[in-house]
C-alpha cells in the first residue's frame, strides 16, 4: 500500500437498514475490519445503522449503540452510504440526500433501480460520486462489474438470466419429483425459499426488476420495469415439465434482454422480457439447480459467458455489498471514480409483440388422418415455419388422452410473438382441434 494511504483517516460508513442483509454487512464490517483496511488503504468505520425501530430485537452481531432512527441525519455524516432497506421510499430520498452531501452510495435495491435508477445515476454523475449496485442483480454473483467493465470493449447481443431463486427451486422440484406447481410452491414456503405471499416471485415481478437493470447495463439504454414484458410461472403444469423432459428440455423462468439489429424480421432495438422457457438440457443454464442463479451472456467477441452463484441470502448479498464498499472506499483514498451508468446508446425498447423466438405448441386434436396437414397449413398461412412435429404414441407422464384424441407437439422456427399469437388463435378455431394445451417459448437453442 502507498504510504499516503496508510495514514488516511477512517472512512465513515452509514448503513441504512438492518434486516437479513444489513445484519450481515454490519457483521462483516467488524469481523473483516483488518482485511478491509488493508485492501482499502484506510480503516472503514461503521458510524451508524438507520432502522425504523431502534428498540426492536437485533442479532448479536449488531452493535446496538450504532442504531438510529434518524436516517436523514446519518447520511449527512458519512463518506459511504450503504442502502439495504429495500422499497422505493424513503430509500430514494435518502440516497439522493447522501449523493448531494457528497457521499458515495452502494445499494442492493433492485426495485428502486428498476423503477428510477437513472435519477440516481444522474445525481451521482452530477455530484461526481460513485454509485455501485452489484448486489441488486443476482445477489452474490459478480455480474454488474463484468458487464460494465470487462465487456466494455465488446458488444453484448443477449442476456439470459435465471435471476429468481424461488421460482428456479420450484421448477427444479417439479422436474425432479413430478410435483405440481402448488405443491412445489408450498414446499418452497416450508423451507423458507418462498415468502408467505409468493406473488413477487411466481408472477415474475422480481425477475422483471432484475431484467430491467441487466438490460440497462448490457445495452447502455434506459430500461425500466414498465418496459419489461412479464409472465410468471403460474401457468406451468406438471404436464409441461414432463413434456419438456421428453423433448430434451427443462423449463426455466428466464429474464431475457436482447439486442435486435432489425432487418427482415422486425425493427432494431432492445427486447426485454421475463417468461418461462424451454431450455435444452445441454445448455449451461439447464444445469442451474435449486435456488442458484445464473446469468448467461452472449457477446460478439467474447462469445458465450455464464456467471453462476447464490442470488439471494444475507451473507451472499452482503459479500457483493462489501465488494462495492471496497471499490468506493478505494476511490476515496486513492482518487478516481467508478464507471457511471452511461446511457449513450439509448436503443429503442421494442414492444413485447416484436420478440422473436421459437415456440413449442402442444395441442389435442381428433385422431384421424389429415389433421396434421390442416394444422400445418394454418401455421404456414401466418408465416410461421415448422421445425418439427411429434405425434407421440405413448405419452409417459402426460398420459391423459381420451380415446379418439391425439396429442401434437409442434416446434416452430423463430417467429415474431405477434405472428405466433395470431397463429395459435387460428389453430384453436380449426374444427378438429380440441384444445391448445400449452404454448412455450424455446430459448438458448
Binding-site residue positions: 16-23, 110, 195
Q: What is the torsion angle, in degrees rounded to the nearest 10, for the CA atoms of residue 390, residue 394, residue 396 and residue 402? A: 100
Contacting residue, 115, 116, 154, 367, with a copy of itself by CB under 8 A: 154
Can you tell me the distance from the alpha carbon of 174 to that of 180, in angstroms, rounded to the nearest whole number? 6
What lies within 8 Å, CB to CB, of 3 at 6+ separation is none
C-alpha cell at 322: 462489501
Contacting residue, 110, 222, 310, 382, with a copy of itself by CB under 8 A: 310
State how far Cα 225 lies from the chain centre: 11
Contacting residue, 277, 321, 365, 378, with a copy of itself by CB under 8 A: 321
Contacting residue, 65, 344, 373, 429, with a copy of itself by CB under 8 A: 344
User: Applying CB under 8 A, does 325 fall inside the site for a copy of itself?
Assistant: yes
What lies within 8 Å, CB to CB, of 372 at 6+ separation is 365, 389, 391, 408
C-alpha dist (Å) from residue 384 to 356, 360, 376, 410, 412: 11, 12, 9, 11, 7
Residue 324 CB, nearest approach to a copy of itself (Å): 8
Task: Give the residue with the Cβ less far from a copy of itself, 319 or 437.
Answer: 319
Contacting residue, 337, 390, 395, 434, with a copy of itself by CB under 8 A: 337
Q: Scan residues 392-431 and list those touching a copy of itself (CB under 8 A).
A: none
Contacting residue, 48, 232, 309, 444, with a copy of itself by CB under 8 A: 309
Binding part of the chain for a copy of itself, among 137-145, 187-195, 223-231, 382-390 by CB under 8 A, reads: 137-145
Binding part of the chain for a copy of itself, among 181-189, 199-207, 251-259, 333-341 by CB under 8 A, reads: 333-341
Q: Which residues are annotated as a binding site for L-homoserine?
A: 195
Task: Give the residue with the Cβ less far from a copy of itself, 257 or 384.
Answer: 257
Binding mask 70-109 for a copy of itself (x = CB under 8 A): ----------------------------------------
User: Applying CB under 8 A, does 35 fall inside the site for a copy of itself?
Assistant: yes
Contacting residue, 30, 32, 68, 374, with a copy of itself by CB under 8 A: 32
Residue 315 CB, nearest approach to a copy of itself (Å): 4
* Cβ-contact 80, 104 below 8 angstroms: yes
Q: Strand locations in 140-212, DSSP E?
A: 156-162
State how beta strands 415-416 and 156-162 pair. Answer: unpaired
Contacting residue, 59, 64, 73, 150, with a copy of itself by CB under 8 A: 150
Residue 263 CB, nearest approach to a copy of itself (Å): 19
Contacting residue, 20, 315, 372, 414, with a copy of itself by CB under 8 A: 315
User: Applying CB under 8 A, does 39 fall inside the site for a copy of itself?
Assistant: yes
Q: How deeply is 126 buried, as exposed, middle or buried, from its count of CB atoms within 10 A (0-12, 13-18, 19+)? A: exposed
User: Applying CB under 8 A, does 280 fall inside the site for a copy of itself?
Assistant: no
Quick check: is 210 catalytic? Answer: yes
User: Applying CB under 8 A, does 129 fall inside the site for a copy of itself?
Assistant: no
User: Applying CB under 8 A, does 152 fall inside the site for a copy of itself?
Assistant: yes
Angle at 120 between CA 132 and CA 109, to 5 degrees: 55
User: Applying CB under 8 A, does 308 fall inside the site for a copy of itself?
Assistant: yes
User: Applying CB under 8 A, does 2 fall inside the site for a copy of itself?
Assistant: yes
User: Applying CB under 8 A, does 302 fall inside the site for a copy of itself?
Assistant: yes
Q: How deeply is 182 buried, as exposed, middle or buried, from its count of CB atoms within 10 A (0-12, 13-18, 19+)? A: exposed
**HEC profile of 44-62:** EEEEEEECCCCCCCCCCCC
Is the bond preceding residue 314 a cis peptide, omega within 30 degrees?
Answer: no
Q: Would you list the DSSP string of 354-422?
A: G-EEEEEEEEEEESSTTHHHHHHHHHHHTTPPEEEEE--S--GGG--PPTTEEEEEEEEPSEEHHHHHH
Query: Can you give the binding site for a copy of itself, defined by CB under 8 A?
Result: 1-2, 24, 28, 32, 35-36, 38-39, 125, 134, 140-142, 145-146, 149-155, 284, 287, 292, 299-310, 313, 315-316, 318-327, 330-331, 334-337, 339, 342, 344-345
Active-site residues, by number, are 210
Amino acid at each position: 500500500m502507498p504510504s499516503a494511504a496508510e495514514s488516511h483517516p477512517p472512512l465513515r460508513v452509514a448503513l441504512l437498514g438492518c434486516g437479513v442483509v444489513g445484519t450481515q454487512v454490519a457483521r462483516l464490517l467488524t469481523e473483516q475490519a483488518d482485511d478491509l483496511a488493508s485492501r482499502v488503504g484506510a480503516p472503514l468505520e461503521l458510524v451508524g445503522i438507520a432502522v425504523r425501530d431502534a428498540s426492536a430485537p437485533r442479532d448479536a452481531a449488531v452493535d446496538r449503540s450504532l442504531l438510529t432512527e434518524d436516517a436523514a441525519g446519518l447520511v449527512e455524516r458519512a463518506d459511504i452510504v450503504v442502502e439495504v432497506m429495500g422499497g422505493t421510499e424513503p430509500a430514494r430520498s435518502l440516497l439522493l440526500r447522501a449523493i448531494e452531501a457528497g457521499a458515495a452510495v452502494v445499494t442492493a435495491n433492485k426495485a428502486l433501480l428498476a423503477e428510477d435508477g437513472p435519477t440516481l445515476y444522474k445525481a451521482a454523475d452530477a455530484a461526481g460520486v460513485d454509485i455501485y449496485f452489484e448486489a441488486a442483480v443476482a445477489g452474490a454473483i459478480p455480474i454488474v462489474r463484468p458487464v460494465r467493465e470487462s465487456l466494455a470493449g465488446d458488444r453484448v447481443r443477449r442476456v439470459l438470466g435465471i435471476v429468481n431463486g424461488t421460482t428456479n427451486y420450484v421448477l427444479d422440484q417439479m422436474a425432479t419429483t413430478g410435483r405440481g406447481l402448488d405443491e412445489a410452491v408450498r414446499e418452497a414456503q416450508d423451507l423458507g425459499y418462498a415468502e408467505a405471499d409468493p406473488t413477487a416471485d411466481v408472477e415474475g415481478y422480481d425477475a422483471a426488476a432484475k431484467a430491467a437493470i441487466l438490460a440497462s447495463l448490457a445495452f447502455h439504454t434506459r430500461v425500466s420495469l414498465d418496459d419489461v414484458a412479464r409472465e410468471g410461472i403460474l401457468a406451468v403444469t406438471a404436464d409441461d415439465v414432463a413434456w419438456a423432459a421428453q423433448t430434451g428440455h427443462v423449463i426455466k423462468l428466464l429474464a431475457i434482454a436482447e439486442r435486435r439489429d432489425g432487418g427482415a424480421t422486425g425493427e432494431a432495438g432492445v427486447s426485454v422480457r421475463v417468461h418461462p422457457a424451454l431450455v435444452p438440457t445441454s445448455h449451461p443454464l439447464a444445469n442451474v439447480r435449486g435456488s442458484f442463479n445464473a446469468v448467461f451472456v452472449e457477446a460478439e467477441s467474447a462469445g458465450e459467458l455464464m456467471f453462476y452463484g447464490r442470488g439471494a441470502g444475507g451473507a451472499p448479498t452482503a459479500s457483493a455489498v462489501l465488494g462495492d464498499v471496497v471499490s468506493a472506499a478505494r476511490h476515496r483514498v486513492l482518487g478516481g471514480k467508478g464507471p457511471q451508468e452511461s446511457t449513450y446508446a439509448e436503443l429503442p425498447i421494442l414492444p413485447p409483440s416484436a420478440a422473436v423466438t421459437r415456440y413449442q405448441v402442444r395441442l389435442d386434436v381428433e385422431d384421424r388422418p389429415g389433421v396434421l396437414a390442416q394444422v400445418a397449413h394454418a401455421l404456414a398461412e401466418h408465416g410461421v415455419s415448422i421445425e418439427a412435429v411429434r405425434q407421440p404414441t405413448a405419452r409417459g407422464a402426460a398420459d391423459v388422452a381420451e380415446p379418439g384424441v391425439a396429442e401434437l407437439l409442434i416446434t416452430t422456427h423463430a417467429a415474431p410473438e405477434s405472428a405466433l399469437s395470431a397463429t395459435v388463435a387460428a389453430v384453436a378455431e380449426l374444427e378438429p382441434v380440441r384444445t391448445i394445451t400449452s404454448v412455450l417459448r424455446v430459448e438458448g437453442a
